[in-house]
Structure 1
Amino acid sequence: MDRRVVFDFDIEFTNGGGIQGQDFRLDIEKDEISDKELSDYIVADLRLLMVGKVTILNKYYIEERHKRKIHSENTTKELLIDLSHTIENGLITYKGLPAPIICDYLSRENSKQFYEEGTQFQIGKIEMVTNTGTYLDCPFHRYEYGKDLSEIELAAFTDLDSIVIRIPYTDTLNITAKHLKGYEVRNRAVLIHTGWDSHWNTETYYENHPSLTSDAAEYLRDCEVKLVGIDSHNIDDTRGKNRPVHTILLGAEILIVEHLCNLSLLPDDGFSFSAIPPKFKGVGTFPVRAMAKIYTK
């Protein structure tokens, strides 16, 4: 026998008024469903607008044959994939650069003196270089008069149509234009999946890592890509002092995201990519919470 949930609901509208329902029955595909899920379902199913508080009351479950197709069968869901490494106190991203110091500015214990009994807060303090964790580079990072983070439009790093190009580090450490040809890259974020993120926070991560060559950067620039990301220690070969990939891409106002992870969880195509930094003036690079949005049935 199928499973259904029975409940009452009370919906308030932000522009006044409300509606109520009693003994409402809903087909479900699992043993239980949360009040939040029920609230979202009712609002979506009734196509309600200007909805404020939704209260679910008197909820219980029964065994009864389903009356219509289960809601989730025909619903497209968004799946978010986290592509950022966790930043923690003492993390080394680059050898030679200081690790972040993450501590209390105001501890919970010390905050008690400012608030009523039972109320306490923590205010954190972070001291770090901006090249920490998974971060985004904009032109100011390389060019004195390039755009800084405060000048980059939101559309440049939010919900970008994207593609993953898989070039395992076990095959090559030098990613050339030849590796990138044959893909639809124009006006897209191009994410290079090498698998090097498996060495994150180890000694191996810092040395002899995968990187792009200058001709690869020129090819991506000429294809007018929106952004280039990589799951490696640097998009440039760090064994020398020149940085042609940063120079070429940032010179064309193509953003760079380094130290990505979890690219193995993404499809090759058909997803969007976001890597949103804070709006700092006078800063050319900063950690981001990079993520991919995949639509699933």
Structure 2
Amino acid sequence: MTQPGPPRLWDISAPVHAASPVYPGDAPYQQQWSATIGADSAVNVSRLTLSPHIGTHADAPLHYDNAGAAIGTVALDAFIGPCRVIHAIGCGPLVHWRHIAHAISADLPPRVLLRTYEHAPVDRWDEHLSAFAPATLERLADAGVRLVGIDTASIDPADSQLLPSHQVLRRRGLRVLENLVLDTVPEGDYELIALPLRLTTADASPVRAVLRALP
């Protein structure tokens, strides 16, 4: 009797290396070797310097609120469970409700991930990235959504100083993933697994984000 194969996994994480784009002025990825295999060492050991916002990452409330929690103290339940991937490709500067309404239903999972790019720019900073309109986040929160994700570097416009969409996260208690890579993921429902590291004082954490097909 043929046994069913394992569930299909989509790796929706951006690669992280020295050429990975970062917000202008942020710390790029750097790796140096503290030890290498040879006469003086039995192992290779490296030292990393990087912004916690590099690649696919989860922002902590501390990122946009001086009194907010660090990422290592945030509950993990929002980062794992059923989610819906919605395409809003070419939507323009802001994702408005009309761009995602086609995929909103009464059974909307508590996690929503948006694809805005045909091909995510994993090799360059995009100053014209698509961001969430604050009203869209408000309506998603009203619908019971607890985590939002997007395939751009920020849920606010790249030049925003007031960060109104991040402030919606703060007020509504939403969690967020940024810099997802959803190029090959069809619209639909999946299981999301995107756990942040237990960085007890950090304002964000890289994640290895995957989607698993539902049974």
The 3-state SS of whatever aligns with 2:7 is: strand
1:99 — aligned with what? 28
Show the 5 A alignment for 1:162-177. Answer: 162-169=83-90, 171-177=91-97
Distance in 1 of aligned mates of 2:10 and 2:137: 26
Distance in 1 of aligned mates of 2:120 and 2:19: 19
Show the 5 A alignment for 1:1-297. Answer: 69=1, 71-72=2-3, 75=4, 77-109=6-38, 112-114=39-41, 120-158=42-80, 160-169=81-90, 171-182=91-102, 183-184=104-105, 186-195=108-117, 197-202=119-124, 205-261=125-181, 263-295=182-214
Q: Which whole-Å deviations, capped at 9, do the CAs of 1:152-205 have from their partners, x for residues lacking one?
A: 2222212x2111111112x43321123233513755210101116432213xx4
The 3-state SS of whatever aligns with 1:89 is: coil
Greater share of helix: 1
The 3-state SS of whatever aligns with 1:156 is: helix
The 3-state SS of whatever aligns with 2:31 is: strand
Distance 1:196 1:140, change over 3 A: farther
Distance 1:236 1:179, change over 3 A: same
Greater share of strand: 1
User: Could you tell me how far 1:76 is from its partner in structure 2?
Assistant: 5.4
Distance in 1 of aligned mates of 2:14 and 2:163: 24
Say whether the 8 Å CA contact 2:84–2:109 is kept in structure 1.
no
The 3-state SS of whatever aligns with 1:215 is: helix
User: Could you tell me how far 1:92 is from its partner in structure 2?
Assistant: 2.7
Write the letter of the residue equivalent to 1:267: P
Write the letter of the residue equivalent to 2:202: V
1:24 — aligned with what? none
Q: Which whole-Å deviations, capped at 9, do the CAs of 1:229-254 have from their partners, x for residues lacking one?
A: 11112111123312111110133221
Say whether the 8 Å CA contact 2:84–2:108 is kept in structure 1.
no
The 3-state SS of whatever aligns with 1:191 is: strand
Distance 1:149 1:239, change over 3 A: closer
Please report the TM-score for the alignment, with normalisation by the length of structure 2: 0.89
Say whether the 8 Å CA contact 1:87–1:132 is kept in structure 2.
yes
Write the letter of the residue equivalent to 1:161: P
User: How many pairs are equivalent?
Assistant: 213
1:66 — aligned with what? none
Distance 1:161 1:295, change over 3 A: closer
Say whether the 8 Å CA contact 2:88–2:100 is kept in structure 1.
no
Distance 1:197 1:284, change over 3 A: farther
Say whether the 8 Å CA contact 1:272–1:293 is kept in structure 2.
yes
User: Could you tell me how far 1:85 is from its partner in structure 2?
Assistant: 0.9
Structure 1 window deviating more from structure 2 (171-180 vs 224-233): it is: 171-180
The 3-state SS of whatever aligns with 1:94 is: coil
Identity between Structure 1 and Structure 2 (%): 21
Say whether the 8 Å CA contact 1:134–1:257 is kept in structure 2.
yes
